[in-house]
Structure 1
Amino acid sequence: MKVFFKTYGCQMNINDTEIMSGILLENGFDIVASLQEADVVILNTCVVRQKSQDKYHSELGQLLKFKKQGRLKIIGIAGCGSNLEAEKLLELGADFVIGSRSINEISNILNRAIHGEKIVFLTDTICSVNSDLPRLRSSKHHAWITIIHGCNRFCTYCVVPYTRGREKSRPMDDILREVKKLIQDGVKEITFLGQNVDAYGKDLKDGTNLARLIEQASEFENIKRIWFLTSYPTDITDELIETIAKNPKAAKSFHIPVQSGSNRILKLMNRRYTKEQYLDLVKKIRDKIKDVSISSDIIVGFPTETLEDHNETVEFVKNIEFERLNLAVYSPRDGTVASKYFKDDVDRKEKTRRLNELLELQKQINKRLNEKYLNQCVEVIVEGNTKDGLYYGRDIRNKIVIFSGQNLSLGDAVFVKISRTTAGPLYGEMQKKCGL
């Protein structure tokens, strides 16, 4: 049988799809690249925002039409939506629902569905993802590696602790075995993943932490660059900052969601830090790591957010000058504290106005920061080609660079001199060596 995955949401969902694809491939299923080829479609879902949930609900409705027409045999739902909605998804027409903590059982569940069983399969414990599970990687030169599952933070707007469970770290030796296998397959870049990646190792209580994992992974000669996502401000340690500063393979990039520049809103969000503490952290990182890139997330229009709160966030963004900023309008998520106790009382049009104001501000910041790159030479790892036949990749600060070149392969490390900047990508020409 031919299986097609459609994946929504974060990099951890991408990694989960790679694992499920690998398991199914090993058990005799074919993984196909398009819906038109498929007998089975599995939606790997995200519910972090209402828009994400609406998208897969709409897709499920379309798939049911295809199934009625005989173009599909089985529809499955995986990911965080499964944990949140479970039986409801069967009622809507799915043939099986498998939770985000149960993906190692995907082959068994699909086989049961093929034999006519309607199934909801959720486990209370976090699944045992390890280096022995097969993967069907979407990239030949880069790999996502989940090192910690779940989250213990319980921000009032977030469903993740309820869908992904509590934090559980993988043993370091198992992660390093996975890195070793990846190197044998030609992988040159890795990204360590976690809902709260800086909490890695806390539950193991054996001295394991993210800094030491990065150090150990960097000892593999063929690994060129190591990334990590996503950070929680109060879990970033001095040891991690020192490691990123000193290790030449560690990407000089932190993604640290702040969510608001108002202390009142941060408290309502249960974010457990103040904007002053966040500013101190950013200063510490920038003092230790030359030219470090810091990106963030902000939620616009959280319940009771006043114009004064919003203006505090605007000033905060002006002060920090993030390299990148992901912005989202607040939407209530069933099962969260915010949806239960806080009224979604900021007008939709006002939310949009505030969002657009921050978008325009960040665009100006991006343009100004990117201008500093002009005539600089940076090392870029090739990720692919543009429609115009140019190459693109990222430097060690996570800047996207588009450049001309010939006969390059994915994963090649090249030098590029920046000749043009925009608020988005940088543009340049390949050089034999920086400094020439």
Structure 2
Amino acid sequence: MKFYIKTFGCQMNENDSETMAGLLLKEGFTPASTPEEADVVIINTCAVRRKSEEKAYSELGQFLKLKRKKKLVVGVAGCVAEKERERLLERGADFVLGTRAVPKVVNVIKEVLRGKKVAFFEDHLDEYTHELPRIRSSKHHAWVTIIHGCDRFCTYCIVPYTRGREKSRPMEDILEEVRKLAKQGYREITFLGQNVDAYGKDLKDGSFLAKLLEETSKIEGIERIWFLTSYPTDFSDELIEVIAKNPKVAKSVHLPVQSGSNRILKLMNRKYTREEYLSLLEKIRSKVPDVSISSDIIVGFPTETEEDFMETVDLVEKAQFERLNLAIYSPREGTVAWKYYKDDVPHEEKVRRMQFLMNLQKRINRKLNERYRGKIVRVIVEARAKSGLFYGRDIRNKIIAFEGNDTMIGKFADIKVEKITAGPLYGKVVWIEEDVPSVASPDR
């Protein structure tokens, strides 16, 4: 039988899809390149924004339409699955798989093939180990989830309800997964968590993120180590020291602020003030002068005034982020904000504020990117873009595009930057690594 997985949302969803694909392949299923070729289709969904949830429902509609034409098993996984539960069976899905039940995907599909409709939400994260097979989307970079769930309960966020409370993987299990990856030729890994800085706190065995980064850097073959996503009050001095001193740890920090207004931050249940956030940035930059810091901001949160918004603008100008992810507030059913706060900022005003910040960030990006002009930068070549150019990232997470060929993917290359934009940089190859360890077959 053939399977097809459509993934929406964050990198953790991507990693979950890689795990489901690995489990299905091990069981004898084969990947299909299109839904039309498949016997089983799975939508791995995201519920963080209304738009992402709507995309998932649209895809479900398309799969159900296909199901009327051919024999097809349709499943829904991810955050929408956890949020909507059995209601998705009523919409026509054959199975619904909870966010902590990914290791049981094969068992659930077997039940469906026996004629049942299944909604499965048991917690099987203890089975989420290095022994699970995974079909990676890259041959040189791997996502590695190290902590599931979130205990922060920001008032706008559905994640604590769909992903559950924080649960860390044992450090030795993570390191064993990375050792296997290194043996297979992987050179970069990204540690993932909804609140990755909280890693290890629940284990109470001395594990914490800075220690994990140090231990990972000792594994031969691993050249770069990334981590996502951080929460400001969990960002420790030990973590800053590791970023500063360890050459394998990326000089890139994604540190969502969400708003520059203390009043709005309090309504969001973010556990810091704008002053504390800016002080943290100053501390990081004092220890890691070449660090790249990016962030997330939500515009149009309930009761956000023009004064609140201008405080956010002021913070963005002071912070000088290298990248800024912007989102318009949308109420998420089940959250505190949905229950208690009226969504009272007009949509057109939300759009205006987001556009204002987008334009500001473009100006900041262009100014910061000018520092790269004429410099030679080392990247790991990632892939070919739709434009036909190849691209890679330096250790600061700056994307640089250049002429290349498929043999360069996964290798180090030195690129001389010749053209600056507010987005990617453009340059030419001045050196390319000759020999790279061959990549073994997919992790099975």
Point out the more displaced range, 47-56 or 123-132: 123-132
In structure 1, what residue type is equivalent to 2:385?
T
Decide whether the 8 Å contact of 2:390 with 2:404 is kept in 1. yes
Q: Which residue number in structure 1 is paired with residue 34 of structure 2? A: 34
The alpha carbon displacement at 1:56 in A equals: 0.8
Aligned length: 432
Q: Name 1:176's counterpart in structure 2.
A: 175
Task: Show the 5 A alignment for 1:220-299.
Answer: 220-299=219-298
The SS at the match of 1:372 is: helix
Deviations for 1:250-293, whole angstroms, at most 9, x for unmatched residues? 00000010000000000000001000000000000111112100
Q: In structure 2, do the counterparts of structure 1 residues 374 and 51 end up closer, same or farther at CA, with 3 Å as the change threshold? A: same
- SS of 1:63's equivalent in the other structure is helix
Instruction: Give the equivalent residue in structure 2 for 1:2.
Output: 2
For 2:407 and 2:189, locate their aligned partners in 1 and report how far apart those are by CA, in whole Å.
20
Residues 200-247 of structure 1 show CA distances to partners (whole Å, capped at 9, x for unaligned) of 011111111111111111111211100000000000100000001000
Give the TM-score of the pair, scaled to structure 1.
0.97
TM-score, structure 2 as length reference: 0.95
Change (3 A) 1:114 1:135: same
Say whether the 8 Å CA contact 1:142–1:190 is kept in structure 2: yes
Secondary structure in 2 aligned to 1:271? coil
Structure 2 CA distance for aligned equivalents of residues 53 and 115 of structure 1: 30
Shift of 1:407: 6.6
Q: Corresponding residue for 2:165?
A: 166
Q: Read off the aligned partner of 1:336 and give its amino acid letter.
A: T
CA shift at 1:397, angstroms? 0.3
- Contact 1:383–1:410 (Cα < 8 Å) also in 2: yes
Contact 1:3–1:31 (CA<8 Å) still a contact in 2?
yes
Give the whole-Å Cα distance in 2 for the aligned partners of 1:100 and 1:407: 36
Aligned residue in 1 for 2:435: none
CA contact (8 A) 2:36 2:66 kept: no
Q: How does 1:25-64 map to 2 (within 5 A)?
A: 25-64=25-64
Bigger mean CA offset, 17-26 vs 397-406: 397-406
Separation (CA, whole Å) in 2 of partners of 1:422 and 1:46: 31
- CA drift at 1:389: 4.2
1:137 equivalent in structure 2: 136
Secondary structure of the 1:358 match is helix
Deviation at 1:61, TM superposition (A): 1.2
- Farther-moved stretch of structure 1 (202-211 vs 11-20): 202-211
Give me the identity figure in percent.
Answer: 62
- Is 1:203 the counterpart of 2:205? The answer is no
The answer to whether the 8 Å contact 1:103/1:127 transfers is: no
Cα distance between partner residues in 2 of 1:320 and 1:99:
38
Q: State the distance in 1 between where 2:312 and 2:404 align.
A: 42
Query: Residue 5 of structure 1 aligns to which amino acid in structure 2?
Result: I
User: CA distance change for structure 1 residues 127 and 17 in 2, over 3 Å: closer, same or farther?
Assistant: farther
* Residue aligning to 2:439: none
Contact 1:43–1:77 (CA<8 Å) still a contact in 2?
Answer: yes
> What residue number does 1:79 align with?
78
- 2:441 corresponds to: none
Shift of 1:185: 1.4
Query: What is the CA–CA distance in structure 2 between the aligned matches of 1:101 and 1:313, rounded to whole Å?
Result: 36
Task: State the distance in 2 between where 1:104 and 1:417 align.
Answer: 45
Q: What is aligned with 1:13?
A: 13
- Measure, in 2, the Cα distance between the counterparts of 1:45 and 1:432: 41
Using the TM superposition, give the Cα deviation of residue 405 of structure 1 relative to its aligned residue in structure 2, in angstroms: 3.9
CA–CA separation in structure 1 for the residues paired with 2:134 and 2:218: 23
- Per-residue CA deviation, residues 138-184 of structure 1 (Å, 9 max, x unaligned), is 11000000000010000000011111111111111100100011112
In the alignment, structure 1 segments of 5+ residues that lack a partner are none
After TM superposition, give the deviation of residue 128 of structure 1 in Å: 3.0
Match of 1:186 in 2: 185
Q: Which residue of 2 aligns with 1:116?
A: 115
Q: Give the superposition deviation at 1:378.
A: 1.0
Deviations 1:377-427, CA, capped at 9 Å, x for gaps: 111000012345432100000000012345743210111111111001001
One-letter amino acid of the counterpart of residue 113, structure 2: I
> For 1:207-222, what aligned pairs fall within 5 Å after superposition?
207-222=206-221
RMSD of aligned Cα (Å): 1.2
Q: Distance in 1 between matches of 2:85 and 2:407?
A: 46
Q: Is the 8 A contact 1:104 1:127 kept in 2?
A: no
1:33 to partner: Cα distance = 2.5
CA distance in 2, matches of 1:267, 1:127: 35
Shift of 1:82: 1.0
Counterparts in 2 of 1:314 and 1:203: CA distance versus 1, 3 Å: same
